[in-house]
Amino acid sequence: MSIGTFILKNALRNKRRATLSILSVAVSLFLLVTLLVALRELTVPAEGEGAALRVVVRSKISIANPLPARQRPIIERIPGVEAVSPFTWFGGKFKNEEAMTFAQFAMDPKEVGTIFVEAKVPPDEYAKFLADRQACIVGKITADKNHIKVGDRIVLTSEYYACTLEMHVVGIYQGTVDDRNLFFHQKYLDESIGDPGTVGTWWVKVKTAEDMPKVISAINHAFANTSAEVRAESERTFQLSFISMWGNIKLFVNSICTVVVFTLLLVSASTMSMAIRERFRELAILKALGFRRRELFAFILAESFGLAALGAIVGIGGAYCLYTYGNIAKMTQGIFIMFEVTPKIIGMGALVAAGLGIIASIAPSIAVARMSVVNGLKTLD
């Protein structure tokens, strides 16, 4: 019998315990990877194709404060600006649902294709969207989830504007990192709420990436010391500032990850100690035959590390396959668009598994080191 076979037989001697140990590591690492991926998606949102050329202009006081519509021509005259569109959140409930299940935004329909270049809409559907003030286009994810198709009528009731809008779907768009939204005409919203002369935010498309800093600075300066001061920022910065409003979600998720790893460590250490305690007599015989401490340590470490590695392969590999090839948008009911298991996250999971295998072997190794041959032979008599 080779040393490898000896270690393998010892590890699988109690098949039920070995299986449960591997599964406990696998489930815990699957949960750990899921939390890390979810945290990444929340704190590092994905960027679309044209995100590097988009600027978001919002009220300097609060995102909830509307901006005057008269700002648009001023922004359009700034060098480096290619297109400007209002981007007003409606907050409507669909089919009398208790909460809003997808976002709706009022825009200038002529600028949708210019600002959101990644949003792919068939030309005939886009032409219908331009021609009809009560038309709307819906993201593919939302359309699939709610069984919405071209030609359907949608009724949205907003608590924010205290009005109800009735629209008909003329197109389905896809290709963005977030195909969940609904876009409709800003003029239709203005007419429905009495034309207040305000918008929620401005979304600006700059001509080149080099123009971005100059455009942002010029927009902020243009409305400085006015009754409607603005904060212009890149789409990426806007996304991150919006996420920060949720509170310290990073600390919360990391705390859960720490608890998961600590609990897994206790379970694994306890399992290894139990397994080695049952084999004290055999280890004492090995000592009597001339095996040195470091060789016995190697046997225990190899067994612990092997079980942790198998658990890591099952847990991390399962998470990678599920999140890479599965439909995350469907599984999470549209809460998340995608889960990307990055090499960094895989590495962190593997590092946890390796540390787990090493630390779980420390206590039984110390016990074996302190054990005399005589006491070991008496253990299971």
Split at pLDDT 50, 70, 90, the class of 152 is very high
Query: What mean pLDDT is predicted for residues 342-349?
Result: 90
pLDDT at position 301, please?
77
Say how far apart CA 206 and CA 216 lie, in whole Å: 10
Poorest-pLDDT segment among 23-32, 92-101, 199-208, 292-301: 292-301
Query: What mean pLDDT is predicted for residues 28-46?
Result: 81
Query: What mean pLDDT is predicted for residues 361-373?
Result: 68
* Burial readout 223-253 (b: 16 or more C-beta within 10 A, e: otherwise): beeeeeebbbbbbeebbeeeeeeeeeeeeeb
Split at pLDDT 50, 70, 90, the class of 289 is low
Say how far apart CA 89 and CA 159 lie, in whole Å: 12
Contact 24, 181 (CB under 8 A): no
Q: What angle do CA 140, 145, 151 make, to 5 degrees?
A: 60
Q: What is the pTM of this model?
A: 0.68
Say how far apart CA 127 and CA 122 lie, in whole Å: 9
Query: What mean pLDDT is predicted for residues 267-285?
Result: 69
Chain-centroid distance, C-alpha 205: 26
In the predicted structure, residue 380 carries a pLDDT above the cut 60: no
pLDDT at position 290, please?
61
Report residue 372 as tokens. Answer: 């005399």
Query: What mean pLDDT is predicted for residues 205-214?
Result: 91
In the predicted structure, residue 212 carries a pLDDT above the cut 70: yes
Chain-centroid distance, C-alpha 358: 31
Query: What mean pLDDT is predicted for residues 46-65?
Result: 82
Report residue 202 as tokens. Answer: 């401005």
Query: What mean pLDDT is predicted for residues 88-112?
Result: 85
pLDDT tens string 153-180: 999 988 788 888 999 999 999 888 778 8
pLDDT at position 5, please?
65
In the predicted structure, residue 183 carries a pLDDT above the cut 90: yes
Contact 179, 157 (CB under 8 A): no
